[in-house]
Amino acid sequence: MASNWFRFAAPASFYPTAGRLIPVFWILTGVCLLAGLYWGFFQTPDQLGGSNAQKEYYRIIFIHVPAAWMSMWLYVVMVGWAAIGLVFNTRLSFMMANAIAPTGAIFTFLALWTGSFWGRPSWGTYWDWDPRLTTELILFFMYIGYIALHSAIDDTRRADRAAALLAIVGLVMVPLIFWSVNCPDPNQCAALHQRSNLTQIEGNILFSMLAVTFGFWMYSFATTLMRLRSIILTREADNTWVQELLVKGDRA
């Protein structure tokens, strides 16, 4: 069977597929979040660390870390779609990048927000100019810049391509910005985030963290596809298939 790589690049053929996928992703989101949060609240130790233990409040990690991971990952995915759009000139890729941006911005904000609530009891401050906090804040600005540029340009084609280019330039800058706020000399500035890696984390905590991350990921798919469907409808409003769809009232 000759498969056509670009079959789903046409908004008309992806629209119903997206509609069928959305419930699946919502169910996966629900299952993963419930499992992850249940495990995180009831199957993990009550406190962490030795002498200066973090009590119950450390559980915010189950939202904070997955949100931070997703915020970075979604930016990469967004740039990926934007680049594909620029290379292959496919409209749907730009719509995809566009649909991802708000979800990414929300996760960035969530990571900052939960982080500052976690920082208050454990570091004694809501905000500090720690490298990771600063980079996350800048990532938030980049999402806002992308959304702002896109909405400022009336011509859709130009808006798509200009915002895509900005996102790509932004991706090149992210490592630079990260290293710059991480300061050239580690002795000069203290990082509040401790160095960590996944192998050091206690098994139950790791499990629920990964489960919530997976849940957030599925949530991103669901919301992105929902947003994508409305973007498709708005942009293709003049096409026959959309008008037939509206007449039939088919919501699938």
Partner 1 sequence: MLRVFWCVLLRDLTLALRRRTDVLTTLFFFIIVVSLFPLGVGTERQILQILGPGVVWVAALLASMLALERLFAADYEDGTLEQMVLTAQPLSLLVLAKITAHWLLTGLPLVLIAPLVGMQYHLSDDAILIMMVALLLGTPVLSLIGAIGAALTLGLRGGGILLSLLILPLYIPVLVYGAGAVTASGIDMADTRPYLALLGAFLVAALTFAPLASSAALKISIE
Residues of this chain that interact with partner 1 (CB under 8 A) are: 138, 141-142, 144-145, 148-149, 152-153, 158, 161-162, 165-166, 169-170, 172-173, 176-177, 179-181, 183-185
Phi-psi map region of 197: left, alpha, beta (phi>0 left; psi -120 to 50 alpha)? beta
Q: CB of residue 112 vs partner 1: minimum separation in angstroms? A: 15
Of 3 and 188, which CB lies nearer to partner 1 in the complex structure?
Answer: 188
Of 173 and 237, which CB lies nearer to partner 1 in the complex structure?
Answer: 173
Where is 241: in which H helix or E strand? helix 240-248
Of 93 and 223, which CB lies nearer to partner 1 in the complex structure?
Answer: 93
Of 148 and 246, which CB lies nearer to partner 1 in the complex structure?
Answer: 148
Of 26 and 91, which CB lies nearer to partner 1 in the complex structure?
Answer: 91
With beta carbons less than 8 A apart as the criterion, state whether 127 and 116 touch: yes
Where is 217: in which H helix or E strand? helix 203-235
Of 17 and 180, which CB lies nearer to partner 1 in the complex structure?
Answer: 180
Q: CB of residue 137 vs partner 1: minimum separation in angstroms? A: 9
Reduced to 3 states (helix: H, G, I; strand: E, B; else coil), residue 63 is helix
With beta carbons less than 8 A apart as the criterion, state whether 127 and 119 touch: yes
Q: CB of residue 20 vs partner 1: minimum separation in angstroms? A: 35
Q: CB of residue 180 vs partner 1: minimum separation in angstroms? A: 4
With beta carbons less than 8 A apart as the criterion, state whether 174 and 139 touch: yes
Helix axes 61-88, 203-235, angle to 10 degrees: 40
Nearest in space to 220 (alpha carbons), one of 40, 37, 78, 85: 78
Q: CB of residue 42 vs partner 1: minimum separation in angstroms? A: 41
Q: CB of residue 168 vs partner 1: minimum separation in angstroms? A: 8
Reduced to 3 states (helix: H, G, I; strand: E, B; else coil), residue 48 is strand
Of 103 and 135, which CB lies nearer to partner 1 in the complex structure?
Answer: 135
Q: Which class for 80: exposed (0-12), middle (13-18), buried (19 or more C-beta within 10 A)?
A: middle
Q: Tell me the CA end-to-end span of the chain in Å, nearest whole number.
A: 27
Position of tokens 């979040």?
A: 33
Q: CB of residue 207 vs partner 1: minimum separation in angstroms? A: 36
